[in-house]
Each structure stands twice: as structure tokens, then as C-alpha cells.
Amino acid sequence: MEAGGVAHFGWPYSVERMNKKYTGKCLCGGVTYVAEAEPVIVAQCHCEVCRRLSGTGHTVGAMFPASAVSVHGRLSEFRYVSDRRSEVTKAFCPTCGSPVYGKNTRAPDHITLTLGTMDDASGLDVEVVIFERDKAGWDQLGDSVVCFATQPDWTPEG
Ligand SMILES: [Zn+2]
Ligand SMILES: [Zn+2]
């Protein structure tokens, strides 16, 4: 919370939520970020790109309005064209390799931060699971989330 935000203590909950900040960093600390909004959606994805990007069974991404996110530090980018012909950019720390965020030309005003790099993601829950059909047998799923075999149009994937 900003210094000015402290004075808001005790204000209605909706005001507190507007002041919410999510901070994060890569493994080595060379890249840091701040998101000053609530995520539009938190999605877990089991597609092949996310499996290889993460080195494990899935990614969990929190999609934010790009205007609410500032990223500091040097990043490397990997770009590819998705099956839907949009350009996807995956940004990662060139020193430690942590995936930090993804962008997609299909949703140019948004940026998806990896939940695992967030300092404190308490209060955020996975709302949907996409590309469930590609899920590796060794990766576990909870039973209470909404799963899509591929992806509905509004999710932040390729
Ligand atoms: Zn790093
Ligand atoms: Zn994916």
C-alpha cells in the first residue's frame, strides 16, 4: 500500500480493494513488478506451451489491465504465433529463467503475470482451468474448479 493509502484504513472494503497492490519478483530478484489492480481473471493452463514454459504441468496466470502493471529489470522475450494467429510474448528473467509475464496481441491492453512469482497472492484463486485435455497424467487438479477442454474465447492464452 502506498503511504497515502494508510489513511484509508477503515474506509469501506471497496476502497481497500481499489488500493490493492500485488508485488512480485523472479527467482534472482533482478526483475520486479507491481500490479495496482485486481486481476481480471486467474487461469490455470495445461497447454503444451505452458507445460514447457513452466517445466511442470501447468502455469497459473493472473491477467491484469496492462496500464495497472509496471515491470522493472531486464527481461528476455520469446515470441510465437498462436493457433489463433495472434502473437504471444513470454517474458522471462535472462539470469534465473523465471517466467514473469505473458502478452497476447489478441488482448493488447492486458498482461498476464505468473502467480508463482507473486510475493503474496493470498486471496486469489484459480477461477478456470483451460486446455484440460492436454493435462499430463502426473499433474494434479482440484475438483472444485471449472475446466475447459480447450479454451473459451475470453481467456488469456494463445
Ligand atoms: Zn531472475
Ligand atoms: Zn497455456
Sequence ranges of the domains in the chain: 3-147
Which residues partner with 146 through β-bridges?
Answer: 128
- Taking only the tens of pLDDT, the chain with its 158 residues reads 444 444 444 444 455 455 689 999 999 999 999 999 999 999 999 999 999 999 999 999 999 999 999 999 999 999 999 888 999 999 999 999 999 999 999 999 999 999 999 999 999 999 999 999 999 999 988 778 889 999 887 665 55
Q: Is the pTM of this model over 0.75?
A: yes
Expressed in angstroms and rounded, the spacing between residue 86 Cα and the centre of ligand 1 is 27
Expressed in angstroms and rounded, the spacing between residue 14 Cα and the centre of ligand 1 is 34
Expressed in angstroms and rounded, the spacing between residue 3 Cα and the centre of ligand 2 is 37
CB within 8 Å of 91: residues ≥ 6 apart: 71, 75, 76, 77, 99, 100, 101, 102, 103
Ligand sitting nearest the alpha carbon of 26: 1
Ligand sitting nearest the alpha carbon of 57: 2
Contact 157, 110 (CB under 8 A): no
- In the DSSP assignment, the letter for residue 77 is E
* CA 21 – CA 35 distance, rounded (Å): 6
* CA 22 – CA 103 distance, rounded (Å): 18
CB within 8 Å of 149: residues ≥ 6 apart: 131, 132, 133
Ligand sitting nearest the alpha carbon of 92: 1
pLDDT of amino acid 157: 59
Expressed in angstroms and rounded, the spacing between residue 158 Cα and the centre of ligand 2 is 7
Is CATH 2.170.150.70 the right assignment for the domain spanning 3-147? yes
